[in-house]
Amino acid sequence: MTSKFQQNIISKLSLQVASFQEGFKILAKASSIRELGRNFNHILRGSILVVDLNLFYKNNKNSNWEEIYVYNKKSKDYLKDLAISENFSLIAAKRKSYKIRILLPLNDGSYFGLFLGKKLDGKSYSELDRIIIQIFLQLLDNAYQAFISRQKEKQLIFSLNNRVVQLNSLIDTGIEISKLNNKKMLMELALERSVSLTNASAGLLRIFNNNRVLFQIEFPGGSNPKEILSSEFQIEREVEYRGLRYLVTLANKESRSGYVPFDETDEILLEAFARQVLNAMENEFLHKEAIEKKSIEKELSLAGEIQKKLLPNKMPDIKGYDLAGINIPSKEVGGDYYQIIKLSNGRFALVIADVAGKGVPASLLVSTLDACLEAYLEMQIALSEMAKKINSLIYKASPPDKFITFFIAVLTPKTGELDVINAGHNPVLLLRKNNKLEKIKAGGVALGMFDMGLPFDGEKLKINIGDRLFLYTDGIPEAMNRREEEYSDERMEKFFKSKCPKKSETFIKNIVNDIKIFTGNTPQSDDITALYLIRK
């Protein structure tokens, strides 16, 4: 039977439910950490009648505490009592200055610290008060995560829009440069656009014969070359043409917070500008068809290098599991993609995807998918909701004939639980320890095919000790020999069931070898990509 004390708690908590709901609505509307913290103080003060309430925020364990709301100016002295830990703590203190101290660790490595002094009625904190405080702290944690997710989504949208602007300007600049037959004018234009698109404060272009400067220009005009070359943050790109070196230096990327380092996109843009200038000068001496061929080869090479950076250099170490993967493009750049992403909550996302088509357009969609995944997975939203958001972005960013088949499995290593969605991809194979084969088909249509709000239904599975998971693209079952016969799903599934080595890397090597035996000298017709996971 329920004791009177428990009944009293249940009764009082029932009365607090509406207060909790209203409190979360208020917290969720905050536009800054400081506003979030101050709203929380007002809510908690009104709920348990705390007079002396002080709240601090710490961005990470090595940063200093910031005042968010301070009632007692001496509360700064209490901070030495807060031991930084990954665990939540609510401790009743035997001090006259405060009665309770609280450490609330957050998912992104930041912390809230609270000190509660006396109540308005002068009474001690009851067990019910402590329960209510903990519930409100959970609301604060949830509201903080929602705030961070909104910030990340804004940053993602801004980044994608900014890259579209940069790409369009890069194309326009290339067209303008190709029309110029004045060498000085084309170099001035390229330098001006390089500075503008990377948000550099200034730029310098120098032409060298050995180590002697033959010519130089600055942008903006009148900039001091010595100051540019001694700047704190700078990037450089150099090209050689007919015995001369052309060196571009950009200085101090500007931002709202002052000068910041240049990023990888800036380096790619500067590389592209340098190539455009080089190509424009070569047009004076080489035949148009030869130039176009070389430019395409350079673009494909750069796109291939960029795409390689999107794929994992090595597999992450997942305790209790053995994992291997491979990507063999059929051309310099492909449309296949796989990734293993470690999430902040200790889970791992296993992803495989295949863009319709090949070449640079397919690789651009792969880049878009990779950027979206990194952002949305950290938001810790449901996979079905994430798939809808990514589908909408891919639909808007791709032509009608381009779409992406996509499969994701989020693994909880300790339990072996898998949250999966299959968006138009080949059925992923799960081989149980008893040699029973299961095919994972749950999901919806391919990403970017429609934007009609169609659902993406997920599925929950469990991979047990001894089970094996095989993710692949259609480049494996559709690999052809010289008689135009396909390797086939049947042969692939038979190989998967019959070949169960101890190491996942061995399986990957063996199936690739079996495909090569089947196809012989026939050129590879499609990208081959696979992921293989064993729970040990």
Mean pLDDT for the stretch of residues 169-185: 54
Close Cβ partners of 399 (under 8 Å, ≥ 6 residues apart): 361
Lowest mean pLDDT among 64-73, 170-179, 499-508, 523-532: 170-179
3-state SS class at 8: helix
pLDDT-derived band at 7 (thresholds 50, 70, 90) equals low
Between the alpha carbon of residue 295 and those of residues 278, 300, 357, 500, the distances in Å are 10, 9, 21, 46
- Rounded mean pLDDT of 346-370? 82
Q: Which residues are CB-contacts of 245 (< 8 A; sequence separation ≥ 6)?
A: 207, 208, 209, 238, 239
Task: State pTM to two decimals.
Answer: 0.48
Name the residue among 11, 102, 16 with its Cα closest to residue 57.
102
Report the pLDDT averaged over residues 275-292: 60
Instruction: State the pLDDT at residue 304.
Output: 53
Main-chain phi, psi angles of 438, to 5 degrees: -120, 145
Q: What percent of the chain has pLDDT over 90?
A: 30
The set of residues, in sequence order, having a beta carbon less than 8 Å from that of 7 and lying 6+ positions away, is none
Long-range pairs for 518-524: beta carbons < 8 A, 24 or more residues apart: 518/479, 518/481, 518/487, 518/491, 519/479, 519/480, 519/481, 519/487, 520/481, 520/482, 521/482, 522/480, 522/481, 522/482, 523/330, 524/328, 524/330, 524/475, 524/479
Helix (H, G, I), strand (E, B) or coil at 434: coil
Q: Which segment, 25-39, 60-74, 348-362, is predicted with the most confidence on average? A: 60-74
Structure tokens at 411: 């693994």
Q: 235, 250 in Cβ contact below 8 A?
A: yes
Instruction: Record the tokens describing residue 250, joined without a space.
Output: 């950009």
Range in 34-38, 266-270, 384-388 the model is least confident about: 266-270
Task: Report the 10 Å Cβ neighbour count for 496.
Answer: 18
Tell whether the model's pLDDT for residue 12 goes beyond 60.
no
Residue 357 or 264, more confident: 264
Q: What is the pLDDT of residues 359-376, one digit of tens each?
A: 666 777 778 888 888 888
509-528 CB burial, b ≥16 within 10 A, e <16? eebeebbeebbeeeebebbb
**Helix or strand (DSSP H, E) at 117:** none
Tell me the pLDDT tens digit for each residue of 191-219: 887 787 788 889 898 888 888 888 888 99
Predicted pLDDT at 217: 85
For the beta carbon of residue 236, count every other beta carbon within 10 angstroms: 14
Over residues 507-535, the mean pLDDT reads 94
Provide the b/e sequence for 394-420 (b: ≥16 CB within 10 Å).
Answer: bbebbeeebbbbbbbbbbeeeebebbb
Would you place residue 69 in the very low, low, confident or very high pLDDT band (cuts 50, 70, 90)?
confident
pLDDT for residue 359? 63
Mind listing the pLDDT tens digit for each residue in 305-339?
555 666 888 899 999 999 999 998 887 666 788 99
Q: Is the pLDDT of residue 2 over 70?
A: no
Q: Angle of helix 33-48 relative to helix 127-179, nearest 10 degrees?
A: 160
Note the pLDDT of residue 439.
94
Which letter does DSSP use for residue 426 in this model?
A: P
- The answer to whether 299 and 272 are in contact (CB under 8 A) is no
134-143, 278-287, 357-366, 501-510: the lowest-pLDDT one: 278-287
Supply the pLDDT for residue 238. Answer: 86
Sheet holding 100-105, edge to edge: 66-69, 53-58, 111-116, 100-105, 89-92
DSSP H or E stretch at residue 250: strand 244-255
Give the residue among 394, 450, 444, 440 at the shortest CA–CA distance from 419. Answer: 440
Which amino acid belongs to residue 399? P
Confidence (pLDDT) at 1: 45
What is the predicted pLDDT for the residue at 321? 97
3-state secondary structure 18-71: HHHHHHHHHHHCCCCHHHHHHHHHHHHHHHHCECCEEEEEECCCCCCCEEEECC
Q: What is the mean pLDDT of residues 124-135?
A: 83
Strands (E), 281-383: 321-328, 336-342, 348-355
Instruction: Answer with the residue of higher pLDDT: 461 or 13.
Output: 461
Q: What is the pLDDT of residue 393?
A: 86
Q: Which of 24-33, 166-175, 278-287, 325-334 has the highest mean pLDDT?
A: 325-334
224 vs 239, which has greater pLDDT?
Answer: 224
Cβ contact 153:69 at 8 Å = no
pLDDT-based confidence at residue 489 (cuts at 50, 70, 90): very high
CB atoms near residue 27 (< 10 Å): 23
Give the max Cα distance, the chain.
95
Closest CA to 425 of 406, 412, 442: 406
pLDDT of 231 higher than 70 = yes
Q: Which three-class secondary structure state does DSSP give residue 113?
A: strand
Q: What per-residue confidence (pLDDT) applies to 434?
A: 94
For the chain, which domains are there? 4-147 (3.30.450.40), 151-303 (3.30.450), 312-535 (3.60.40.10)
Q: Check whether 431 has a pLDDT greater than 90.
A: yes
Residues 6+ apart with CB under 8 A from 352: 336, 337, 338, 406, 407, 425, 428, 471, 472, 473, 529, 530, 531
Nearest to 408 by CA among 336, 368, 348, 358: 348
pLDDT at 382 over 80: yes
